[in-house]
Structure 1
Amino acid sequence: MNAVESRIPLVVVGGWGVDAAMLLPLFDRWPGEIHLISLNDALMSRCDSVTEVADYLLERYPCPSVWAGWSQGAQVVMAAASRSFAQVSKAITLAGFPRFVAGPQWPAGMAVDSFEAFRGQVSQNAGLAWRRFQQLLIHGCPDGSQARQELRPWLARGPSVSDLNLARGLEWLGSEDQRSLWSALAVPTLHLQASEDVVVQCWEHTFDPSQVAKVVTVPGMTHWPRGQSLSRCQDEILRFVFGKEVQWTL
């Protein structure tokens, strides 16, 4: 790996109500600086949409970087990539989706009834609804006991945003539809999907992203990339970003 490659910054955007630091094990040997962005109160209180979040982050991180987004964060990253090819040199989505809720020609989304029921739960008891959602991040893990142990510290911290912004984040999930953006984006993109995801369905065979995008469904992976799926994700990211087999360590 040459000196230029070793300095490539990475911007990581987390998902709904979670701390982006939950993804650190995935990038623990990234050869460059890492900027972790959580969709927290400080960020969401100043923005009214996914696009506004993307614009704000583009102002904060103007240097050409690789951008990675997890779940709802994937929509932020894709919006940023569509607005500044110069700053987002490559994009990575992890358990991401162009549209969260099911609709016409989009069977991979969450059923409308299920989404509305969850939104109702958040309005009644956001903390409890958030905890239930966190359990879905690891639902289907082959190593359930270990997964629950790894999730426990994050559950103890509680949501990274207020009840109000948890509800606002759901509003964004319910309204954002980036299918046309994803299908036309000229920025090289790697979409890593989870074969065991119970939050969103794999859309690999129902939707065609842009011609410069690569879609990989990771076996055994749930909505939170962890466990044995981490190694596969790291390998795919390494090949995608650097285009060759190299070691993560410098």
Structure 2
Amino acid sequence: MNAVESRIPLVVVGGWGVDAAMLLPLFDRWPGEIHLISLNDALMSRCDSITGVADYLLERYPCPSVWAGWSQGAQVVMAAASRSCPQVRKAITLAGFPRFVAGEQWSTGMEVDTFETFREQVSQNAGLAWRRFQRLLIHGSHDESQARQELRPWLARGPSVSDVNLVRGLDWLGSEDQRSLWGALPVPTLHLQASNDVVVECWEHSFHPSPAAKVVRVTGMTHWPRGQALSRCHDEILQFVFGKEVEWTL
């Protein structure tokens, strides 16, 4: 791999109600450009679906890149990869899912009643529901005190998206089903699942993505990749994207 190839850009798409910058510690030594995309008002107000977001981002970032998506952002990345394989050279999902809500032949999703209850809570008091959700990002951490300390600045900033678009994002979560897409996508993909995730249940044994995909269950990882899980994720991404012989410090 030459120097140009080792400096491939990275497009990082955040999830529902979270700032994509929360993932920066995972990519802080990436050797190329990093483009952080949060599902904020500016983006959601101009798009009407996950596919719409993907198409807009493909127009905005036309250079061949590695795309990484966290949670709902994983669906954006996979949609982008299905629309333009040349631009999405490789895809990475972090705590991602092809379908969020449980349904026919998909028992690993959130129960419909639980999802609808949460959606109603967001409609009635978005700020309170958002803070509860943020705390779920670190639920299950082995270092709970440290996790709360790291989360505190993000809680203090509040949501980077309006109440209306928080509800809109949930509507997308409730309707999007990418199982057929994930099962056939030819783009090389790394799915990093979190063993301690209370938001998204691991689907590694119940769903088989395309042959071009690799699924890794990261022990001790919560919905927010942090703490000791960062090292495992870092190593998996390093090997997947560059190969062992290339260091991120280039």
**Structure-2 residue corresponding to 1:20:** 20
**Structure-2 residue corresponding to 1:98:** 98
**Structure-2 residue corresponding to 1:86:** 86
Superposed displacement of residue 248, structure 1? 1.7
Contact residue 100 and residue 200 of structure 2 kept, 8 A? yes
**SS of equivalent to 2:4:** helix
Alpha-carbon separation, structure 1, partners of 2:149 and 2:2: 38
**Structure-2 residue corresponding to 1:192:** 192
Contact residue 93 and residue 191 of structure 1 kept, 8 A? yes
Superposed displacement of residue 242, structure 1? 1.1
Alpha-carbon separation, structure 2, partners of 1:161 and 1:20: 12
Tell me if 1:128 matches 2:128.
Answer: yes
**Structure-1 residue corresponding to 2:118:** 118
1:136-151 mapped onto 2 (5 Å cutoff):
136-151=136-151
Contact residue 90 and residue 188 of structure 2 kept, 8 A? yes
**Structure-2 residue corresponding to 1:40:** 40
In the alignment of these two chains, the number of paired residues is 250
- Segments of 4+ in structure 1 off by > 3 A? none
Deviations 1:52-101 (A, max 9, x none): 00000000000000000000000000000000001000000000000000
Superposed displacement of residue 5, structure 1? 2.6
1:1-250 mapped onto 2 (5 Å cutoff):
2-250=2-250
Alpha-carbon separation, structure 2, partners of 1:160 and 1:247: 33
CA RMSD of aligned residues (A): 0.8
Paired AA for residue 45 in structure 2: S
**TM-score of the superposition, structure 1-length normalised?**
0.99
Alpha-carbon separation, structure 2, partners of 1:111 and 1:168: 19
**SS of equivalent to 2:66:** strand
Alpha-carbon separation, structure 1, partners of 2:143 and 2:242: 31
Superposed displacement of residue 121, structure 1? 0.2
Alpha-carbon separation, structure 1, partners of 2:6 and 2:181: 30
Contact residue 6 and residue 246 of structure 2 kept, 8 A? no
**TM-score of the superposition, structure 2-length normalised?**
0.99
Paired AA for residue 211 in structure 1: P
Deviations 1:123-157 (A, max 9, x none): 00000000000000000000000000000000000
Alpha-carbon separation, structure 1, partners of 2:171 and 2:191: 24
**SS of equivalent to 1:91:** strand
Alpha-carbon separation, structure 2, partners of 1:244 and 1:96: 25
- CA shift in 2, pair 1:213/1:48, >3 Å: same
Alpha-carbon separation, structure 1, partners of 2:221 and 2:35: 24
Alpha-carbon separation, structure 1, partners of 2:215 and 2:108: 15
Alpha-carbon separation, structure 2, partners of 1:40 and 1:155: 16
Alpha-carbon separation, structure 1, partners of 2:155 and 2:104: 35
Alpha-carbon separation, structure 2, partners of 1:50 and 1:6: 29
| Ranges in structure 2 where 5+ consecutive residues have no aligned partner | none
Contact residue 6 and residue 242 of structure 2 kept, 8 A? no
Superposed displacement of residue 239, structure 1? 0.4
Superposed displacement of residue 3, structure 1? 1.2
| Ranges in structure 1 where 5+ consecutive residues have no aligned partner | none
